[in-house]
Amino acid sequence: MKRGRDLTTARSWDSPEEDHCETPEGAYRDIEPLLFKLSRLLGKKGKDELNIYDPFFCEGAVRDHLNSLGFPNVHNVPEDFYEVQREGRIPTHDVLVTNPPFSGDHIASLLNFARLGNEKRPFMALLPNWVCNKQYFTSVFPRAAPVFFVVPREPYRFWAPGRREKKIQGRFVLPKAKGKEFHCIWFCSFADHHDEVVRWFSKWQEKRSKSKGKGSGPPTCQIALTAGDLPKPSRPTKRPNPRQRKAMAKKLKLSRG
């Protein structure tokens, strides 16, 4: 699909407009080493053979970002994830990588699918940092469950549909003063490869911090092995009331012309 095209009207299901925010390239760049390691563990000849599934569609930028990092096989299309589940049409994939809507019970449903309905495949879900304190998380992921967290050192900046990042010198850049920051972290589980991936990623980060030259310097994220190792969660942003949401929708419509 052509970059810059507004695909929000392609959805065949109802959902609040505030749920549709695209994930910045930097978030995927933080997990690129993990996806690369997974491709090796699965016996792939290269990153281009790893099949990635993101069930929640916004404008399709996730495919642009992962493609720019060497992962062209990304299934992210305008379809209702829950209908796809009911009809048993989950596409073949090696890993689930997604940033689900934050309203309603989307997060709880996604975590339940990732842990119990994804045939023990690896998954990486970008979620608000306070999710690990929710009952629906601790019930699906008890203390012994194989899950770790990738925490960005700076909050990711998301943006609404129609306000795409621009590719400058090979990197996607969000225009200044655009987008909204959320304190989100990656919730990760690598099934049978979990322990090996954790050890490898920890050593990779340490090696990068000590190295010099291109690609060196402190990593842009850190790993937390348990919820207790995470920075103190920020309070969830209060959802605007109906009047405020209506005004926001009107403003967004005007901005699109």
Note the pLDDT of residue 5. 34
26 conformational bin, left if phi > 0, alpha if psi -120 to 50, beta if neither: alpha
Q: Can you tell me the mean pLDDT for 188-192?
A: 92
pLDDT tens, 134-150? Answer: 999 989 888 767 899 99
pLDDT tens, 10-44? Answer: 444 455 555 567 788 899 999 999 999 999 999 99
**The pTM of the whole model exceeds 0.85:** no
How many Å is the Cα radius of gyration of the chain?
18
Domain residue spans of the chain: 8-255
Q: Above pLDDT 90, what percent of the chain?
A: 45
